[in-house]
Structure 1
Amino acid sequence: MHRSGAGSEAGTAADQEFLALERELSVLLRRARAQSGEMAREVHPELEPAAYGLLVRLDATGSQRATDLAAYFGVGKATMSRQLRALEDLGLVARAPDPDDGRASLVRLTDEGRARFRHVRDARRARYRRKLAGWDRAEVAELARLLHQLNAGGEETS
């Protein structure tokens, strides 16, 4: 229920931390989307920006089922299937039978996909190092920890 007047102003004053968080996350997410698009094009000119995150995940996990990837990213199976098909068509990922369940398959990066992804990832990491050169390593670690905590909380509520 939305209330106007002094009551809502008091609520707004009490929520300044959350308003500041919303503002900063909005900027971060907008920039991240733009950077994902740039990085995706660096991996392959035809790669969709949203697919870059799949490459990040597959590089970290080695291989996963499409259903697990869909759950991790909070998207439907059809969306995940379409994105993986596009990655397969570009030669960046491949599917293999899941040894634990013959009806399922595991998705993994191809050698070419891994090489292209890591080249772009390493260049991005160098940009982060330059941008955060004035930060203490403990601050960088704390930011990573807090972002992980935020992301993990998002997985629980999805």
Structure 2
Amino acid sequence: MAADVEASEGARTAAVRALEAEFSELITHFRRLIMDNANRVSPGMLPGAYKTFTTIARCGSVTSSALAERMLVDKGQLSRTVRDLEELDLIRRSPDPSDGRSSLLSLTPHGEAKLLEAREPQEGMLMRNLADWSVADIDSLTRLLHALSSGATPGRED
């Protein structure tokens, strides 16, 4: 019985290590994509600035404080990045109607165009990579990744 438990734990450890290795490869791939996209938006743009830019794009409009909280970054560092993005005419500040002391950050039309242009080479890559997958497999991967990222156990309703 103890040997079965040891073998089971060994198999679990090996499986988790294999998963970690695959995540490492995936992260490396995504870093490369982000660096390429950042350079297409503006040559020399750092990946952190691109992340700030795309986070603003996903939010539609957001205050600097909410953006810093969402991205888990220092407000001073974020302030410099926001200033750089403004100088590139990628984002703009507008008064926050709900709080006159703060402003909302959003993409400019130029920023929207640059983001579309930067993403174009990868457009459809995920669709192509998943073309031979069944919808059930895609749904399963989505469910499992959500469970992993939220700390839930797959198959349990929490």
User: What's the TM-score once normalised by structure 2's chain length?
Assistant: 0.76
1-structure distance, mates of 2:131, 2:91 = 34
Whether 1:135 and 2:118 are equivalent positions in the alignment is no
Residue 30 to residue 149, structure 1, CA distance change in 2 (3 Å): same
Query: Residue 118 of structure 1 is aligned with which of 116, 126, 134?
Result: 116
Residue 136 to residue 119, structure 1, CA distance change in 2 (3 Å): farther
**Amino acid across the alignment from 2:27:** L
> Contact 1:36–1:50 at 8 Å: present in 2 too?
no
Whether 1:48 and 2:33 are equivalent positions in the alignment is no
2-structure distance, mates of 1:152, 1:56 = 22
SS at match of 1:75: coil
Residue 138 to residue 61, structure 1, CA distance change in 2 (3 Å): farther
Unpaired segments of 5 or more residues in structure 2? 1-5, 152-158
**Amino acid across the alignment from 1:102:** G
Determine the structure 2 residue equivalent to 1:75: 73
> Contact 1:36–1:52 at 8 Å: present in 2 too?
yes
- State percent identity of aligned pairs: 36
**Amino acid across the alignment from 1:78:** G
Q: Measure how far apart 1:113 and its partner are.
A: 0.1
Determine the structure 1 residue equivalent to 2:17: 19
Q: Measure how far apart 1:110 and its partner are.
A: 0.5
Residue 128 to residue 46, structure 1, CA distance change in 2 (3 Å): same
Residue 13 to residue 136, structure 1, CA distance change in 2 (3 Å): closer
**Amino acid across the alignment from 1:26:** S
Determine the structure 1 residue equivalent to 2:87: 89
**Amino acid across the alignment from 2:38:** A
User: What's the TM-score once normalised by structure 1's chain length?
Assistant: 0.76
> Contact 1:47–1:87 at 8 Å: present in 2 too?
no
2-structure distance, mates of 1:67, 1:149 = 28
Aligned CA-pair RMSD: 2.6
Query: Residue 33 of structure 1 is aligned with which of 27, 31, 35?
Result: 31
**Amino acid across the alignment from 1:58:** I
